[in-house]
Chain A
């Protein structure tokens, strides 16, 4: 593979899709890491094909309500909440 498989522009674009602000030196660092990660994925090509269970279709449940989480547990892991809402920074 060639070293320019991933360009800094690619990283900037992906970072913007992920709403992540990156400094220039981080861009440089991630450009290299991206290439490495994609190379790891190539290893998957060596995995022999696994037979899929072709019979597995139409997995569904009837439309019947089951208990949800109580709000307290639902919000338990949130770093910030307000009046039962998850709270986060402004997004536009």
Chain B
């Protein structure tokens, strides 16, 4: 060896930031930047757990269990001699994501080892991807305050999740000891890295919501699973004068600005709060003439602040090198072979044109694939407007009130369809269907027909309504007199009387007509 640096010969020297080829400008500009303004620039690293049955490098189950270290084997415990074997399902999920974000799947992609010593990594390295990630240069369209734009995704790569630690007897710094559970170790993760294209915390939130929707549509992600989404965000503040006349900020100004990396964010809401906090903290520092430190900060959800973390490693300290136990992947042709469903944005557009829905209804009805599928079933069988009212307003409203999701009543959707049928065929009133039958169905798990039968909600025979009309007129001479002397409001009192007599099962509009007809006689 000839020089002092050579002992680090295994280090792969690659710049920390992966700058997209052919682009050194920012395509996204929220608004025109004025001189003297401070512009916020945010980029994200989003980790999502892929919804596979088994781990990424062994066939242990990924199911969440009550007990620690139940789904572990020599591979995910890092025992000597154990060899990783890649999960085809995880690669398929990665290709689906690549297709959905219109990314390039390179001819060849491979895995690297990222070395660091921490007990959540039993092997002392994490298998991840480095300079040859499976997805490169994609984009995702988001809608912020009615405006559509593309967020560039620089790369998305596969890696394994570490295990989970419990610090017992105190906080992370003061704990007496550590308990380690490797059930999570080896769960497939996709790390999605965006360009620094965000200009506010609310844009980040919109992106995360859209990303989650897309991933759920693809069937590769479960947002309801604890810890399924983790976000690290880079945030820096740039002086407005660094922007050109189009409000775009050059890569040089970005590189020159000190940024903080905010870690430990685990939800959309958390991301918006953490980044709004960090934005204000940095802007205040700049306004007071202080320098923003380039550092890693930890989002403390319970206190609502970010705190400085001693940063342990620099990029080169991870000593990335090729994972020789995993041969390279050549799966670019899978992009043509694997199909993905219609994605939320496209489906929203189609709902608007095909079913003539307004933007709000279309967006509610495409919020999850299950909701959209259910809406289409009902709309095709009955009437798109009736279906929109029933699914978007009534069903989602009542579910939301009970803190439930459509997935919680997956096996009862036929009953909901039957309820809409009863309304469509005019067998019960819309009001009874919504306020009695649907609520009882959700609260008591009864089917709609038995609820209608038990509560006597079937629409009353015309004869019965007619005799109630006659009775009401006979019993209320004062109201009749008022009506005849020109007080049209008196009719409402009579309608109320008829409704009472028929137990609410008559149609108030019909009753009104019948009363007027009877009084004209």
Q: Are B60 and A68 in contact (CB under 8 A)?
A: yes
Contact yes or no, A71 B326, CB < 8 A: no
B432 within 8 A of partner (CB): no
Chain A CB within 8 A of B328 CB: yes
**Which of A62, A63, A66, A89 has most chain B Cβ within 10 Å?**
A63
A41 to B116, CA, bound (A): 22
> Chain B 1-21, CB within 8 Å of chain A: the 1/0 string?
111101101000000000000
**Contacts of B277-317 to chain A: CB distance below 8 A:** 313, 317
Cβ 8 A contact of B89, one of A4, A5, A63, A90: A63
Contacts of A22 in B (CB 8 A): none
B170 nearest in chain A by CB position: A90
Chain A interface category by residue count: 35 or more
Known: A64-B53, A68-B72, A88-B178. A1 touches B1 (CB 8 A): yes
Min CB–CB distance A71 → chain B (angstroms): 5
B106 contact set on A, CB distance < 8 A = none
Taking CB atoms, residues of chain A closer than 8 Å to B115 are 17
Contact with B along A7-46 (1 / 0, CB 8 A): 1001001000111000000000000001100110110000
Contacts of B67 in A (CB 8 A): 71, 84
B336 to chain A, nearest CB (A): 16
Contact B59 A60 (CB under 8 A): no
The answer to the question of A83 belonging to the interface, with a C-beta cut-off of 8 Å to chain B, is yes
Pairwise interchain contact A82-B179, C-beta atoms closer than 8 A: yes
Among B80-88, B434-442, B492-500, the stretch in contact with A: B80-88
How far, in whole Å, are A11 and B7 apart by their CA atoms in the complex? 11
- A89–B181 Cα distance when bound, in Å, is 14
Could you tell me the distance between the alpha carbons of A90 and B117 in the complex, rounded to whole angstroms? 14
Which of these, A1, A18, A39, A63, contacts B90 with CB under 8 Å? A63
The answer to whether the Cβ of B175 comes within 8 Å of any Cβ in the partner chain is yes
Interface of chain B, helix or strand or loop or mixed? loop
Q: Is B330 an interface residue (CB 8 A)?
A: yes
Do A85 and B54 touch across chains, with their CB atoms under 8 A apart?
A: no
Identify which of residues 145-200 in chain B touch chain A, using a CB-to-CB cut-off of 8 Å: 165-167, 172-182
B390-437 with Cβ < 8 A to chain A? none
Give the size category of B's interface with A. Answer: 35 or more
Given A68-B72, A86-B180, A90-B178, CB of A57 within 8 Å of CB of B329:
yes
Give the residue of B3, B86, B89, B177 whose beta carbon is less than 8 angstroms from that of A88: B177
B53, B61, B68: the one contacting A68 at CB < 8 Å is B61
Of B53, B69, B176, the contact of A74 (CB 8 Å cutoff): B69
CB under 8 Å from chain A, chain B span 84-105: 85-91
Shortest CB-to-CB span from A61 to chain B, Å, is: 5
For B118, the chain A residues whose CB sits under 8 A away are 91
Is residue B257 within 8 Å, beta carbon to beta carbon, of the partner chain? Answer: no
Chain B positions 47-66 with a Cβ under 8 Å from a chain A Cβ: 52-54, 59-61
| CB pair A87 B178 closer than 8 Å | yes
Q: B73 touching A63 by the CB < 8 A rule?
A: no
Known: A5-B3, A10-B7, A18-B117. A66 touches B68 (CB 8 A): no
The answer to whether B327 has its CB under 8 Å from any CB of chain A is: yes
CB–CB B91/A60 < 8 A: yes
- CB of B52 within 8 A of CB of A63, answer yes
- A25, B128: Cα distance in complex, Å: 37
- Chain B's closest residue to A84 (CB) is B68
**In whole Å, how far is A86's beta carbon from the nearest beta carbon of chain B?**
4
Chain A minimum-CB-distance residue to B183 = A68
Contacts of B166 in A (CB 8 A): 85
- A20 to nearest B CB, angstroms? 9
A61-B85, A71-B70 known; A6+B178 contact, CB < 8 A: no
> Given A59-B86, A91-B119, do A17 and B7 touch, yes or no (CB 8 Å)?
no
| Residues on the A chain within 8 Å of B3, using CB | 5
Closest 5 CB pairs of A and B: A63-B89, A85-B179, A66-B59, A60-B88, A86-B180
19 A–B contacts, CB within 8 A, in A order: A5-B3, A5-B6, A7-B4, A17-B317, A34-B7, A58-B329, A59-B326, A59-B327, A61-B59, A61-B88, A64-B54, A64-B59, A74-B77, A86-B179, A86-B180, A90-B167, A90-B176, A90-B178, A91-B165
